[in-house]
Structure 1
Amino acid sequence: MKKIILTDANTYATLSVARSLARKGFEIIVGGERATDMSFYSKSVAKKFIYTSPKKSIERFLKDIKKAIDNYSPDMLIPVADKTLIVISEHRADLKAKTFLAQDKHIKTAMNKFETQKLAQSLGIKTPKTIFLNNDQWQSNLLQNAGINFPVAIKACCSADIIGDRVIGGSNTIYSNSEEELLSKLKVFQTRLHKLLVQEFIAGTIIGISGIFKNGNPIALFAYKRIRQTRPIGGPSALAESIALNDTLKTQALPLMRALEWSGPAMLEFKTGKDGEIYLLEINGRFWGSLPLSIFSGVDMPFLYFKSVNDMPVDSSETFYKVGLKGRFFWGDLLNLFLRLRGIPKWWPDISLSRIEALRDFFASFFDEKLVYLDFQSDDIVPFLIRPLSIFNELLF
């Protein structure tokens, strides 16, 4: 029996990979930071271990991972979140486990939104107008000189970055609709992160183009659009729908993957603006949060990843997926409802401010015949029940 070690037991991506590969007969070993991480409680997981967060100490994290590799002798090690991917990628030569990742320099390019934007622009792919800040003193004319109007998004430049013995990054995007508000939020952000982006806000629909790649070439592709997000003003999917992958979307995504000579899973996040243009927002060079939607739709991405690693043939039937299937994360959608009822900024252009509409949207989904639940599985229910506790611990600690 093949053994696989997965990291980041608190993520839906890890849970989805574990369930997928366990169904194929793999022995799944999962590592995480806390005993409350939901994947630990899945029937798909044979063994589990706790490791030190790389945000606390990279040295101790690597020591814990090496110990797990020695204990379990896995056939493959799969880092699932950015904070573990960046460390395992950099130290892959020191680990006695097989990994199948893009080159380290390309992984770091994908994690750096500013570098990703420069690459996209060199390929003729549109991106939002952006200012890069590296602990610089804010100047009131920067936005005007860059031709950027409010509202704007304030983001960490890197989804993960190594500073000394710790990984930093991964903060939620925040938004501002005035310079006074922007200055206030920048001060808070810059106490935690040394590299920031201030980016024009593009109103429209989030499109995810995801897949498994080998040396820049796609093994399988899947596309979806976000209908609701866990946080109404930005966040991972709460409700998403599979969509057809047309040539327009392919011409936006594939040149980037070829330029990065990408190997492994990746999700490219775009936004279709009100002007009809498609803008690249970021690249997630790992398994993505809405991964279970691709599996429900017919493309078993984790297994295709394993097949690509081992040069196994992939039949065209394995890459065909159902269009129009909706996937809901119940807890994420419940958070969306709570935040909409509490109130969102009146200037926010992407969503109705009506609390009645928020309630209607939430409850209507219970009766949608084309909807599946991505976080609830009747024969493996404990991770669903434990998830609220996991979220609480993540927010608290």
Structure 2
Amino acid sequence: MEKTAVLIFDAAQRSALAATRALGKRKDIIVYTTDSTESALAGCSRYTTKYLQGPDPSADTAEFLKWVNSTVRKYEIDFLLPVTEVTSRTLVEHRDSLPPCKLPFSDFKTLLDLSNKTALTQLAQRLNVPVPFSQYCESPADIDWQQVTFPCVLKPALSKVLVNNQWLETQVHIVDTQQQMEELLNHKEYLLHYPFMVQQYIDGQGAGIFCYYQNGEAKAFFAHKRLREKPPSGGVSVLSESAPVNPLMKQHAKALLDNVNWHGAAMVEFKVASDGTPYLMEINTRLWGSLQLSIDAGVNFPALLFDGEYQQVTPLAGFTEGVQLRWLLGDLDNLYLQLKDSKSSWGQKLAAIGQFLKPNFSNRKHEVNRLDDMGPFWFELKHYR
């Protein structure tokens, strides 16, 4: 059988490892992985045929694209799968300059419009998808201070901005006072010179809908809930569980992605207020950190992305709920932070230890350490700090 060569980028990411395992197990695919370091997480997987060190796209776009061109030709790559925003935006923007190969994304304008939080919020308002009250600003001079209530959120339109062939990373800020807000506006380059929003702060729980679309048609949805995060107050998921898809959030996600005729994977993020209203936060037009959980639960997004470039994909009816995914070293970090927290009582710390040690053999899987592919875990353990 002739195999299709796939190049998976951003091999340091756990999502790249999940994609490598999902595609590398197939008999019709040969997987190459790449990142800018000498070795990387997904590059240590037994399902990687060869790890290739390349230039960092965030450091030099031109050099990165030159390397991709030569690599695609040398290894006869037919399918490219980036998993971070910088790599995916770079490849999609310069798709026409690459040798012919599959790239499972919509066109660059659509990608940018969904990634641009200002444009997305305005689209949501037109489609009656709930969003926080927002002021749209090209510069700090555009702020109407009479409409600002604290706490509020300073949200740059783009999470990353390309400036002089290099990427400037922005940050969302929750602001409690006018003085704090003025200091940020005066010192953060991405607030001084690039568009941003001043948004109403929504006090609630984060939630997301994970989607796959093929040429404007919804084919798969997935959802999970976070059981533990790093840091414990909220951050990266270290223990998560597949959960039912919220019908209202699915309706809003569908309205947005249908409108732009989306193609590929997307994560639509909401914050659910105390009254149950899901407010749109952003859309990530790439694969996500807990990708392995969806694969374990029966929604193999990397396979959908691959197959969707070559044939019509059958819509998935559902997935297994209650499947858990644990990132062991991330969970260890969570425990350490709880034990270190001076505000936690001894009772709370003992409870945290008990939860960490409590086994779950029936429906829990580990994200990195898997018996059939332990190379990535030894790599992660070696570099653990």
Q: Same fold (TM over 0.5)?
A: yes
The CA distance in 1 between the partners of 2:319 and 2:280, in whole Å, is 24
Mark the CA change 1:36 to 1:137 in structure 2 (over 3 Å): closer, same or farther: farther
Query: 1:14 is matched with which residue?
Result: 16
Mark the CA change 1:75 to 1:221 in structure 2 (over 3 Å): closer, same or farther: same
Query: 1:243 is matched with which residue?
Result: 243
Mark the CA change 1:252 to 1:64 in structure 2 (over 3 Å): closer, same or farther: same
Superposition map of 1:369-384 within 5 A: 369=360, 370-384=363-377
SS at 1:288's partner residue? Answer: coil
Mark the CA change 1:258 to 1:138 in structure 2 (over 3 Å): closer, same or farther: closer
Query: 2:355 is matched with which residue?
Result: 364
Q: Which amino acid aligns with 1:230?
A: K
- 8 Å CA contact retained: 1:206, 1:225: no
Query: 1:207 is matched with which residue?
Result: 207
Query: 1:71 is matched with which residue?
Result: 74
Query: 1:293 is matched with which residue?
Result: 293
Equivalent of 1:325 in 317, 323, 335: 323
The CA distance in 2 between the partners of 1:112 and 1:355, in whole Å, is 45
Mark the CA change 1:376 to 1:180 in structure 2 (over 3 Å): closer, same or farther: farther
Consecutive unaligned residues in structure 2, runs of 5 or more = none
Q: TM-score, normalised by structure 1?
A: 0.86
How many aligned residue pairs are there?
378
Mark the CA change 1:358 to 1:384 in structure 2 (over 3 Å): closer, same or farther: farther
- Once the 2 structures are TM-superposed, how far is the Cα of residue 388 of structure 1 from its aligned partner? 6.2
The CA distance in 1 between the partners of 2:159 and 2:183, in whole Å, is 22
Percent identity of paired positions between Structure 1 and Structure 2: 28
- 8 Å CA contact retained: 1:213, 1:264: yes
Query: 2:380 is matched with which residue?
Result: 387
Query: 1:349 is matched with which residue?
Result: none
Question: Which stretch of structure 1 is more off in the superposition, 363-372 or 275-284?
Answer: 363-372
- Once the 2 structures are TM-superposed, how far is the Cα of residue 282 of structure 1 from its aligned partner? 0.8
Superposition map of 1:1-397 within 5 A: 1-25=3-27, 26-96=29-99, 97-136=101-140, 142=145, 144-146=146-148, 148-150=149-151, 152-169=152-169, 171-190=170-189, 194-195=193-194, 196-314=196-314, 316=316, 319-343=317-341, 356-357=347-348, 360-361=351-352, 363-367=354-358, 369=360, 370-387=363-380
The CA distance in 1 between the partners of 2:358 and 2:159, in whole Å, is 37
Question: Which stretch of structure 1 is more off in the superposition, 327-336 or 290-299?
Answer: 327-336
Q: Which amino acid aligns with 2:115?
A: M
Mark the CA change 1:173 to 1:255 in structure 2 (over 3 Å): closer, same or farther: same
- Once the 2 structures are TM-superposed, how far is the Cα of residue 343 of structure 1 from its aligned partner? 4.5
- Once the 2 structures are TM-superposed, how far is the Cα of residue 174 of structure 1 from its aligned partner? 4.2
- 8 Å CA contact retained: 2:219, 2:313: no
- Once the 2 structures are TM-superposed, how far is the Cα of residue 185 of structure 1 from its aligned partner? 4.3
- 8 Å CA contact retained: 1:116, 1:282: yes
- Once the 2 structures are TM-superposed, how far is the Cα of residue 240 of structure 1 from its aligned partner? 1.9
Mark the CA change 1:222 to 1:52 in structure 2 (over 3 Å): closer, same or farther: same
The CA distance in 2 between the partners of 1:284 and 1:92, in whole Å, is 20
Give the superposed CA RMSD: 2.7
The CA distance in 2 between the partners of 1:358 and 1:115, in whole Å, is 44
The CA distance in 2 between the partners of 1:326 and 1:378, in whole Å, is 17
Question: Which stretch of structure 1 is more off in the superposition, 83-92 or 130-139?
Answer: 130-139
- Once the 2 structures are TM-superposed, how far is the Cα of residue 276 of structure 1 from its aligned partner? 1.1
Mark the CA change 1:365 to 1:296 in structure 2 (over 3 Å): closer, same or farther: farther
The CA distance in 1 between the partners of 2:307 and 2:345, in whole Å, is 47
- 8 Å CA contact retained: 1:86, 1:161: no
The CA distance in 2 between the partners of 1:273 and 1:383, in whole Å, is 38
- Once the 2 structures are TM-superposed, how far is the Cα of residue 382 of structure 1 from its aligned partner? 2.7
- Once the 2 structures are TM-superposed, how far is the Cα of residue 135 of structure 1 from its aligned partner? 4.5
- Once the 2 structures are TM-superposed, how far is the Cα of residue 364 of structure 1 from its aligned partner? 1.1
The CA distance in 1 between the partners of 2:193 and 2:240, in whole Å, is 33
Question: Which stretch of structure 1 is more off in the superposition, 301-310 or 196-205?
Answer: 196-205
Question: Which stretch of structure 1 is more off in the superposition, 92-101 or 198-207?
Answer: 198-207
- 8 Å CA contact retained: 2:150, 2:175: no
Mark the CA change 1:121 to 1:92 in structure 2 (over 3 Å): closer, same or farther: same
- Once the 2 structures are TM-superposed, how far is the Cα of residue 94 of structure 1 from its aligned partner? 1.1
SS at 2:213's partner residue? Answer: strand
SS at 1:70's partner residue? Answer: helix
- 8 Å CA contact retained: 1:32, 1:50: yes
Mark the CA change 1:137 to 1:376 in structure 2 (over 3 Å): closer, same or farther: farther
Mark the CA change 1:332 to 1:134 in structure 2 (over 3 Å): closer, same or farther: farther
Mark the CA change 1:270 to 1:192 in structure 2 (over 3 Å): closer, same or farther: closer
- 8 Å CA contact retained: 1:267, 1:284: yes
Mark the CA change 1:87 to 1:173 in structure 2 (over 3 Å): closer, same or farther: same
1:237-276 CA-to-partner distances (Å, cap 9, x unmatched) read 2222211124222211101111121101111111211121
The CA distance in 2 between the partners of 1:81 and 1:31, in whole Å, is 12
Question: Which stretch of structure 1 is more off in the superposition, 79-88 or 246-255?
Answer: 246-255
SS at 1:67's partner residue? Answer: helix
